[in-house]
Structure 1
Amino acid sequence: MIRHELVARQLEERIAAHFEVGRRLRVLDAGLGDGARALRLVRWGHQVTGLEPDPGRLAAVRSALESEPEGIRERFRTLAGSGQDTGAHFLPGTFDVVLCHDVLDQARDPDSTLAGLARVLDTGGLLSLVIPNVEARAMRPGLAGDWQTARAALVADTAERDRFLRLEALTAFLARIGVPLESWYGVGVFGADGTHGDAAAGEAGSGTGEADAATGAAAGEAALDVEERAGRTDPYRAVAPSLHLFGVRG
């Protein structure tokens, strides 16, 4: 999906900016999911530990790893658990990079989870967070003409969890736990986030033959290019459905 590629490119950019070329980093992925994100980092040469609370997903990742080369398997460790369990598994300063993508908003106690993730970062380490943009929830339904949902998002009382996830609140909290915000991006500004954007790319290449396939690929690359540029540009990034935040351990 375009969304996954955007996040990966943003992460790659920040890693390149913070660490010397060729350095093998110690990475924690707190929320492994299907393992694709972690596997990509392993293939870049890094040592990755993945935490995943869902037994089915964890078993699927481990099964898929069996078909990978030995060098990949040696650099990819999986554990049952979530971002809330870092204190039970790891010492302070264990990792150079910590990922928490699309899981912080689901945590029972997001502030303590985030503090725990910061604790296991080494000095100069990079924290990568992908969260829903709670301040722009009316944008997608509004653009789709779903006025009832858009209005509900605009007038709804802000829950405590949503207040924590706001960019201003997270910026203040990251500073308090010693991982101040260094940079941030929007993800999927124009809807190329696995739904609208990918569908548009598919429609562009919905015919048959090599020419149509090339047209579809070109449309996908164009969407990715526009999304990537908009995701780092004001005011567009502020209305993206997701935000990608980077903090650096002081």
Structure 2
Amino acid sequence: MSEFVSLLSPAGDRHFDGLADKFASSLYVGARGELRLALLDRLLPEMLDLEGQPLLDVGGGLGQLTSWFSARGHAVTLAEPSGEMLARAREQLAGREVSLLQASLQALPQLAPGPWPLIACHAVLEWLADPRGAMATLASLLAPGGQLSLMVFNRDALRLSNVVKGNLKKALADRLEGKGLRKRLTPISPLTHGQIETWSAENGLVIREVAGIRVFADYLRRPPESDVDRERLLALEHCYCRLDPHWRLGRYLLYTLERPTPSHEETST
């Protein structure tokens, strides 16, 4: 029976207490996890204007992103609702000058209001019951001229992956969401590019950059076995991840969103 116990929070969000090891092994260990991190290492400096700004890492999990930004001179506040994940992050970030905050995204307007010049929210919205509301919250935390680095799990890529695996009935019925009833890591709210476009416009945010993360890797019949082939795959991913139509196939979609600075006319009225 415990296999079917709900793993959702009272708000209906998927948190990861009791799942830190599974989360780490599924998302960061192995060829796909290494490729994701390697692509971010290349793409973040290309897609963001980084000047050592203070950063709020929303749903920072095990601290990989916080570590990356901290190493580049940013004062980082990592916010994470799971106590277990936050403890693991604290171990990984030992010796770094970062702030750790146990808080859900919804609590951040009270606990870390900013406004922030730089926010990162990677692979979080797809685990929330109300990702649209979460976008509004993130926008409210962003300073004028500030940047939001947003990464979401791509619903369209999930559909294609199911077709490739032969799950035709599931794909045709568009039953792609996880239910949060098992210890599986299928997001409960996979998102589309169209949703991000709509929600960004609703909240006065402009999409400055977009890229697909793993536009080819998840569809390979077998993963690359040699270091040479892994480097070739990384080069191929990096070459095409920002080109249409390839970026649309990424397992994750990576965005740079910006809150425009008000014009002189707007501020004087």
**Deviation at 1:108?**
2.8
Cα gap change, 1:138/1:123 in structure 2, threshold over 3 Å: closer, same or farther? same
Amino acid paired to 1:223 = L
In structure 2, the partner of 1:191 is 217
Given the alignment, which residue of 101, 121, 141 partners 2:162?
Answer: 141
> Cα distance 1:239–1:224, how it changes in 2: closer, same or farther (>3 A)?
same
TM-score normalised to structure 2 length: 0.73
Query: Which residue of the partner structure matches residue 68 of structure 2?
Result: 40
Change (3 A) 1:167 1:64: closer
Report the counterpart of residue 238 of structure 2 in structure 1.
Answer: 228
Aligned letter for 1:141?
Answer: N
Cα 1:108–1:138, aligned 2, differ >3 Å: closer, same or farther?
closer
Q: Is 1:80 aligned with 2:94?
A: no
**Deviation string for 1:89-118 (max 9, x for gaps)?**
12342x221111111011132122111111
Residue 37 (structure 2) aligns with? 4
Match of 1:90? 112
User: Partner of 2:170 in structure 1?
Assistant: 152
The runs of at least 4 aligned residues of structure 1 exceeding 4 Å deviation read: 161-164
Closer, same or farther: CA 196–58 of 1 in aligned 2, 3 Å:
farther
Output one character per residue of 1:55-98: Cα deviation in whole Å (capped at 9) or x when no partner: 111112213333x2xxxx32x111001222211112342x2211
CA distance in 2, matches of 1:230, 1:151: 31
**Hey, what does 1:175 align to over in structure 2?**
201
Letter in structure 1 aligned against 2:147:
L
For residue 212 of structure 2, give the secondary structure of its aligned residue in structure 1.
strand
Between structures 1 and 2, the one with greater helix share: 1
Paired with 2:43 and 2:36, the residues of 1 have a C-alpha distance of 11
Question: Percent identity, aligned pairs only?
Answer: 27
Please state how far the C-alpha of 1:136 moved relative to its aligned partner: 2.8
SS of residue in 1 equivalent to 2:146: strand
Q: Is the 2:119–2:147 Cα contact (8 Å) retained in structure 1?
A: yes
The AA in structure 1 aligned to 2:64 is: A
Equivalent in 174, 195, 200 of residue 223 of structure 2: 200
Name the SS of the counterpart of 2:113 in structure 1.
coil
CA distance in 2, matches of 1:51, 1:91: 12
- Work out whether residues 185 and 231 of structure 1, in 8 Å CA contact, stay in contact via their aligned partners in 2: yes
Q: Is the 8 A contact 1:51 1:79 kept in 2?
A: yes
Query: What's the offset of the Cα at 1:137?
Result: 2.1
Question: For the Cα contact (< 8 Å) 2:163–2:171, is it kept in 1?
Answer: no
Structure 1 contact 26–97 (Cα < 8 Å) conserved:
yes
TM-score, normalization by structure 1: 0.78
Match of 1:56 among 63, 79, 84: 84
Q: What 5-or-longer segments of structure 2 have no aligned partner?
A: 1-33, 178-186, 261-269
Q: Hey, what's the Cα distance between the residues in 2 that align with 1:128 and 1:246?
A: 5
Structure 1 residue 196, shift from structure 2 partner:
5.6
Structure 2 partner of 1:125: 146
**Contact 1:134-1:162 at 8 Å conserved across structures:** no
> Which AA in structure 1 matches 2:233?
A
